[in-house]
Homo-oligomer: A and B are copies of this chain.
Amino acid sequence: MNPSKPMNPSNSPAATPPPPYYAVIFTSRRTEGDQGYAAMSDRMFELASRHDGFLGVDSARGADGLGITVSYWRDEAAILAWRQDAEHLQAQRGGRETWYAAYEVRIAKVERAYGHPGKGSTE
């Protein structure tokens, strides 16, 4: 996704409810050039945020080209529904064929969370 236009306009870590919930950790290395990537990425942010069970997303890509996008979801069913969204399937295909030289997707259950400042702790 496009870290230059995160859905989180405050530029702060995503606000999520208390655990448990799920995280999809997407790490990637881009191919050269935009090739429609930025527009696709904006559209995917927009689409995901409308899906039932979407809790938030954080995204960053460093100067070295490594990108990390973590999206948060209520449960596995919500992740599966998003993964099977028709427009998202098309973007996934474009990702494999055009936009990403390599990526890893990890689905993880968030068990504990704490923050600074002032959001309290679950530990």
Report which A residues bind B (CB closer than 8 A). 3-4, 6, 8, 11-14, 16, 19, 23, 25, 27-29, 58-68, 70, 95-96, 100, 102-117, 119
Contacts and interface: CB of A to CB of B under 8 A. Distances in A.
Contacts of A116: 95-96, 100, 102-103
- Tallying the copies of this chain within the complex gives 2
B70 A27 contact: yes
Contacts of A58: 27, 66, 68
Given A6-B64, A59-B68, 5 more contacts: A12-B66, A96-B116, A102-B115, A104-B114, A105-B115
A3 B67 CA distance: 10
Contact of A104 (B13, B100, B105): B13
B60 A13 contact: no
B70 A66 contact: no
